[in-house]
């Protein structure tokens, strides 16, 4: 009598696959790029929440993430900045967004406005510097310390930063291409 073959057990699933926000985008040439994009979405929102909440804890609730970024950019190296420098440093394309944020910061007494020729010049006031210092102290205590103790090593963070800057160049190039289609 012929021996009956036992059915093979079902194959173990290969895993859930890439963790992405949009499976239809991961089905293309680079599923890993979709994983990075999902990571950027989560990290971007978490970073914005962090900036706003840390600034509130430092003493000034109600600032937007863009306003927090601009205040820190103006404070950078404690020298006045041209609005064009701020836009370039932060990758802001719409000058109106920066202009509104700078006016709001000036109204709060955190920056002063001046001119260098035809260009607007923005400088941090003593109140703006003090607020940035409180923000930095909280950042050290609440974020930098824990990351140093249990997060990626400094070299890994630097490598990640370089990778993100490289990817931003690809996204900028792709955005220019999409704009002319």
- Per-chain mean pLDDT for the chain: 92
pLDDT of residue 32 exceeding 70: yes
Q: Specify if 46 maps to a domain.
A: yes
Per-residue model confidence (pLDDT) at position 41: 95
Rounded distance between C-alpha atoms, residue 147 and residue 124, angstroms: 29
Q: Specify if 173 maps to a domain.
A: no
| Domain containing residue 73: CATH number | 1.10.10.10
Residue 12 near residue 23, CB atoms below 8 Å? no
> Closest by alpha carbon to 163, among 178, 152, 150, 176?
152
Q: Specify if 73 maps to a domain.
A: yes
19 pLDDT band (50/70/90 cuts)? Answer: confident
Q: Specify if 165 maps to a domain.
A: no
Distance of CA 77 to the CA centre of its chain: 20
Q: Specify if 41 maps to a domain.
A: yes
Instruction: Enumerate long-range contacts of 25-30, CB under 8 Å, 24 or more apart.
Output: none
Q: Specify if 6 maps to a domain.
A: no
Among 5-14, 27-36, 157-166, top mean pLDDT goes to 157-166
Q: Specify if 15 maps to a domain.
A: no
Structurally, the chain folds into a number of domains equal to 1
Q: In the β-sheet with 111-116, what is the strand arrangement from edge to edge? A: 81-82, 119-124, 111-116
Range of the domain at 38: 33-158
Q: Specify if 111 maps to a domain.
A: yes
pLDDT of residue 173 exceeding 80: yes
pLDDT of residue 4 exceeding 70: no
What are the two backbone dihedrals, phi and then psi, of residue 163, each rounded to the nearest 5 degrees? -65, -45
User: With a threshold of 0.75, does the pTM exceed it?
Assistant: yes
Tokens of 87: 């836009």
């Amino acid at each position: 009598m012929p021996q009956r073959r036992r059915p093979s057990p079902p194959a173990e699933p290969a895993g859930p696959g890439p963790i992405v926000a949009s499976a239809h985008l991961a089905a293309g040439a680079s599923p890993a790029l979709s994983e990075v994009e999902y990571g950027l979405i989560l990290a971007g929102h978490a970073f914005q929440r962090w900036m706003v909440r840390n600034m509130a804890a430092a003493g000034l609730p109600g600032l937007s993430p863009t306003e927090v970024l601009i205040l820190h950019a103006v404070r950078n190296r404690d020298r006045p900045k041209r609005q064009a420098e701020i836009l370039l440093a932060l990758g802001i394309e719409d000058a109106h967004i920066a202009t509104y944020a700078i006016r709001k910061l000036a109204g709060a007494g955190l920056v002063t406005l001046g001119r260098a020729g035809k260009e607007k010049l923005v400088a941090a006031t003593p109140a703006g510097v003090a607020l940035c210092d409180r923000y930095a102290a909280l950042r050290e205590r609440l974020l930098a310390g824990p990351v140093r103790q249990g997060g990626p090593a400094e070299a890994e963070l630097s490598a990640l930063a370089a990778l993100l800057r490289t990817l931003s160049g690809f996204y900028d190039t792709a955005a220019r291409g999409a704009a002319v289609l």
